[in-house]
Amino acid sequence: MTQNTRIPFHRDPAVRAIAAQVVALLLVIYGLYSVFENTVNNLVARGMQTGTGFFDEVAPFKIGFSPFLDFSLGETTYLEVFFIGIQNTILIAVLGIIAATLLGFFVGVVRLSPNWLASRAALGYIEMFRNTPLLLQIMFWNFAVFLPSLPAPKNSIEMGFVYLNARGIHVPTPVVEDSTGLWIWMALLMALCIGLYRFARLAKARFEETGERLPVFWINILGFLAGGYVLYFVAGSPLGWDTPELGRFNFKGGGQLPLPMFSLWFALTVYTSAFIAENVRAGIQSVSHGQTEAAHALGLSRKDTVNLVVIPQALRVIIPPTISQYLNLTKNSSLAVAVGFEEIVALWAGITLNQTGQALIIIAMTIAVYECLSLFTSAVLNWYNRRVQLTER
């Protein structure tokens, strides 16, 4: 009966879906356009310039921390300031992500420990750091903990050639004394890495052939450290060290990690690790008890059960929410403004904006930086996630 009747187009789900999307897209484009036009008109009406002319002007302020691009007052341009800001943001994000992941996994596993005290302690840690604002925590660590408890530069805590004081950590920095030697060392290190890689492959083949296991991971780490050390002398010790020395008021020479950076890194790590720990707990608990029982019944040891059965399945649950924690950490690093660490928001959307008044372009560029960082992070992790998920079927 209904075989020949065609669905009227306004009831066809495919047509309706496309129509709805076209309408939504048009609305968004119109909205963005009117905001843009409005802003430009307003700026022009107030006599404010928009443009990139200020990029090549010299920035009239000092930047304390720029480990990758040399900063010299009176020479560095605004555009270079922008890149210093990006580098510092990336640096703090990478350091924070690494530390938060390690700490988060540790706390998440302890949270599930059969030891009542350990599990409660982990719970307390998670609840405490998840439930207070990050800004408050950053200020707490910086102003209430590290700043008052660390001595003035002349009473620095000395650890070898490393000095710790209320301004930060002073470390020796390597200086190239013999650049051919450095290249030789780099080449030797490359060869060492290839060798260790070959060794890992051989060990795997041997394991598949004879079932004998070697602690490949530890052998590789030790081999790299010890081998790298020996090869350094083989290459004729190509590096010298610029060691920090106490001057009249502060240290000269060497490199300095400013205290605000350390406080920010510490706070971001602790805060984000609490969320990651919860993801880890949920992931591990999502693996049914039957899985561990089956593995135990086959005679697999506790460690092998965790590594071969529980973790591969838990990762599929852990990774997606952890990606968004990484993105949060990156964005939260902008709270550095509170303690004065010089990342992109402080340097670019803060000082530079105040100096030049170029709000539109500066804010747009800052947004673009975060957008790129976030898209890059999620692209990498989604790729990894797909690999983990695909093994299901």
Q: Residue numbers of the site for another protein (CB under 8 A)? A: 207-213, 288, 290-291, 293-301, 304, 308-309, 312-313, 316, 391-393
- Give the SS3 label for residue 245: strand
Question: 241: which strand partners?
Answer: 174
Q: Which amino acid is at 42?
A: N
CB closer to another protein, 53 vs 312: 312
Number of other residues whose CB lies within 10 A of the CB of residue 267 = 27
Strand ranges inside 180-293, DSSP E: 239-242, 245-246, 251-252, 255-258
For residues 345 and 367, is the Cβ–Cβ distance under 8 A?
Answer: no
Q: How far is the CB of 202 from another protein (least distance, A)?
A: 15
Q: Say what the alpha-carbon torsion angle 229, 234, 239, 241 is, to the nearest 10 degrees.
A: 50
Torsion of CA 360, 362, 364, 369, to 10 degrees: 180
The answer to whether 235 and 188 are in contact (CB under 8 A) is: yes
For another protein, give the closer residue by CB, 51 or 208.
208
CB nearer another protein, residue 23 or residue 308: 308
Nearer to another protein, 237 or 301 (CB): 301
In the complex, minimum distance from the CB of residue 300 to another protein, in angstroms, rounded to a whole number: 6
Q: Is the dihedral of CA 130, 131, 135, 139 positive or negative?
A: negative
Strand partners, 168: 165, 258
Q: Where are the beta strands (DSSP E) in the chain?
A: 157-159, 162-165, 168-171, 173-176, 239-242, 245-246, 251-252, 255-258
Cα 113 to Cα 122: distance, rounded to the nearest angstrom: 9
CB of 92 to another protein, least distance (A): 35
Indicate the residue among 47 and 212 with the shorter CB distance to another protein: 212
Contact 332, 270 (CB under 8 A): no
Q: Considering the complex, what minimum distance in angstroms separates the CB of residue 367 from another protein?
A: 40
User: Which distant-in-sequence residues (6+ apart) come within 8 Å of 273 by Cβ?
Assistant: 99, 100, 101, 103, 104, 107, 129
- CB 219 → another protein: shortest distance, Å? 19
Nearest approach, Cβ of residue 308 and another protein (Å): 6
Name the amino acid, one letter, at 125: Y
Q: Which is nearer to another protein, 248 or 393 (CB)?
A: 393
Q: How far is CA 256 from CA 90, 108, 223, in A?
A: 18, 33, 30
Nearer to another protein by Cβ, of 306 and 360: the residue is 306
Q: Whose Cβ is closer to another protein: residue 160's or residue 290's?
A: 290
Smallest separation (angstroms) from another protein to the CB of 171:
44
- Cβ of residue 301: shortest distance to another protein, in angstroms? 7
